[in-house]
A and B are shown apart, each in its own frame.
Chain A
Amino acid sequence: MGADPDSRFVEIYESTYEPILGYVLRRCPHPEDAADVVAETFTTAWRRIEELPEGDEARLWLYGVARRVLANHRRGERRHEQRTAALRERLAISPALTRPPEDEISQMGRAFRDLTDDDRELLSLVAWERLDHGQIARMLGVSRNAVRIRLYRARKRFARGLARAGIDHPRAVALEGSSL
């Protein structure tokens, strides 16, 4: 610790903005909506700067906040704020964020989308955020064992969904390094 709140926030913002933006973008139906979710996430961090854990744990803490902000966002609490107008515009026109047309989305994508929110989030945290069981446990506030069991079940359900979708060899689908 030791750093004043301003310096600490700047340091955390600079080191976590990109992973948090990525986390939110991957889960937001519209890229421009991500601006407000990111803004609210970091506003919470600013207001609770004394509570933020040190090092990379701050990123996990922020994933947890972003997850809750996104849940509220999906409940219809959409606020487009003046302070995010410029960022919204940037995200809306960014070529890197152009989504593929619907017909290009694979059968694997459809099976993944049909999972429950909880299953999809767990698998995403492994495949997209590259978190291990311990990190997921700290982010979600549950035990490592609970993560292990839930992940095992989520993988099974995903494998069944793939089989139903006609993908005969679900083991061909890698979950970022490890097969299903």
Chain B
Amino acid sequence: MNLADLAYVRDKDLAGEASVPEARALMQAIMSEGRDPVAAASTRPKGRRRLVVGLAALVTATAVAVGIGLVGGSVTSYANAAVSIEKTDEYFSVSITDPTADRRRFEEAFRAVGLNVTVKVIPVAPSDVGMLVGPIVPEGFKWHGSIGMQGITPCSSVFCAKVWMPADFPDRVVFGVGRPAKPGEPYADSSPVDPDGEEALTGYISHGETVADVRAELKRRGLKVGYRLFWKYHENGDGGFSWFDEAVPGSRVKADWTVASTRFHSSDTVDLYVRAGKDAGPTPSPHPGPQWYDLPD
């Protein structure tokens, strides 16, 4: 037996792939982009007049604000022990250094550069610690321009990202910063589960397997099981379908129903996202539970 045999594709199987039209087109697409933005995503402001004006009383001794800021106005960069944020012409470059810090440390930094946002420090899986989640606009984004976030790699901090949003956006915007969850503490859901297959287990594809089979795999790995039913329903108006999921007790789920996705619910429990079988009864009305960004601190 050879460990190399476990690789389902070897480099030699890919000979010639670099010159296929799809690979050449990707190369051209990459080279058509500018080379500057990510490379310049340093947390230190460069080549700019460094002037701290009027904000000394507003920042703590451990925070550094840089830029042309009037009292009550915004600065071009801000750093404290939790996070540093630098404003560029097109976006804000955010580097998280201490994901376990108090949420107010993050909010003060965002506000210093002109972003009036709410930050919540949320329990997440070890692989997501430090990750910035959002921006969430609970009331829906209906404004000019766009709002978004994109991770940047390589990153010398815990997490680096570009964030952009209109400076005059008036509604509530929420970001989450992932902190390590305690053993057994449920993780904050940062995104809807993909009904076409999201996999929690390394080296195991649950999508398409029966509940009984996936349950057996979890038992083998010493993990507990939670259940969520995927319900399909007609969208009003356009005739399309949508999905929602509902947490249910194990007694509601039949062993021969099909698992669509799996996701870690906590450090010791994996939720099975199960397609409701034909004998599951009528589809209930969507009734989303409170999300992490709606909960009080």
Asked if A and B bind, the verdict is yes
Q: Which residues of A are at the interface with B, using a C-beta cutoff of 8 A?
A: 5-6, 9-10, 13-14, 17-19, 21-22, 25-26, 29-30, 35, 38-40, 42-44, 46-49, 51, 64-65, 68-69, 71-72, 74-77, 83-84, 86-87, 89-90, 96-97, 99-100, 102, 106, 108-110, 112-114, 117, 120, 123-124, 127-128, 167, 172-176
Alpha-carbon distance A108/B6, docked complex (angstroms): 8
In the complex, the answer to whether B26 meets A39 with C-beta atoms within 8 Å is yes
Indicate the member of B3, B7, B155 with the most A CB atoms within 10 Å.
Answer: B3
CA distance A128 to B9 in the complex (A): 9
Asked if B15 and A18 make an inter-chain contact with CB atoms under 8 angstroms apart, the answer reads: yes
A-chain residues with CB within 8 Å of residue B128 when the two chains form the complex: 75-76
**Restricting to B12-26, which residues have a CB under 8 Å from any CB of A?**
13-15, 17-23, 25-26
List A contacts of B21 (CB < 8 A): 86
Contact of B202 with A72 in the complex, beta carbons under 8 Å: no
A42 to B13, CA, bound (A): 21
Q: Is the CB of A76 within 8 A of B2?
A: no
Contacts of A84 in B (CB 8 A): 26
Closest chain A CB from B125 CB (angstroms): 9
Least CB distance from B213 to A in Å reads 9
Given contacts A102-B205, A112-B3, contact A90 B22 (CB under 8 A): yes
Is A5 within 8 A of B35, CB to CB?
Answer: yes
Q: Is B280 an interface residue (CB 8 A)?
A: no
Counting chain A CB atoms within 10 Å of each CB, which of B20, B127, B151, B221 scores highest? B151
Whether a CB of chain A sits under 8 angstroms from the CB of B251 is no
Query: B38 contacts the other chain (Cβ, under 8 Å)?
Result: yes
B14 touches A22 (CB 8 A): yes
Contact A22 B23 (CB under 8 A): no
B203 touches A47 (CB 8 A): no
Give the residues in chain B near A6, CB-CB below 8 Å. Answer: 31
* Interface band, chain B: 35 or more
Q: Which residues in A have their C-beta under 8 angstroms from that of B1?
A: 106, 108, 167, 172-174
Q: Is B48 an interface residue (CB 8 A)?
A: no
Is B29 located at the chain interface by the 8 A CB criterion? Answer: yes
In the complex, are the beta carbons of B153 and A76 less than 8 A apart?
A: no
A86 with B14: in contact, given A29-B205, A76-B190, A110-B203 (CB under 8 Å)? no
7 intermolecular pairs with C-beta atoms under 8 Å apart: A13-B18, A18-B18, A21-B14, A22-B9, A25-B9, A49-B35, A76-B190
Q: B235 in the interface, Cβ–Cβ < 8 Å?
A: no
> Which residues of chain B are near A102, meaning CB under 8 Å?
205
Q: Would you call A18 and B3 a contact (CB within 8 A)?
A: no
Q: Does B51 contact A (CB under 8 A)?
A: no
The smallest C-beta distance from A41 to any residue of chain B, in angstroms, reads: 9
Q: Tell me if A40 and B153 are in contact (CB < 8 A).
A: yes
B124 to A, closest residue via Cβ: A75
Docked pose: A128 CA to B14 CA in angstroms: 14
CB-defined interface of B21-64 with A at 8 Å, one 1/0 digit per residue?
11101110111010111110000000000000000000000000
A8 to B: closest C-beta gap in Å: 11
**Is B4 on the interface with A (CB-CB < 8 A)?**
yes
Assess the B38–A44 pair: CB atoms within 8 A.
Answer: yes
Whether B10 sits at the interface, judged by CB under 8 Å, is: yes
Q: Which of B2, B17, B153 contacts A21 (CB 8 A)?
A: B17
Query: Judging by beta carbons under 8 Å apart, are B30 and A43 in contact?
Result: yes
Contacts of B23 in A (CB 8 A): 17, 87
Which residues in B have their C-beta under 8 angstroms from that of A74?
127
A5 to B16, CA, bound (A): 24
Q: Is the CB of A127 within 8 A of B4?
A: yes
B204 at interface, CB cutoff 8 A: yes
Measured between C-beta atoms, what is the minimum distance from B219 to chain A in Å?
A: 14
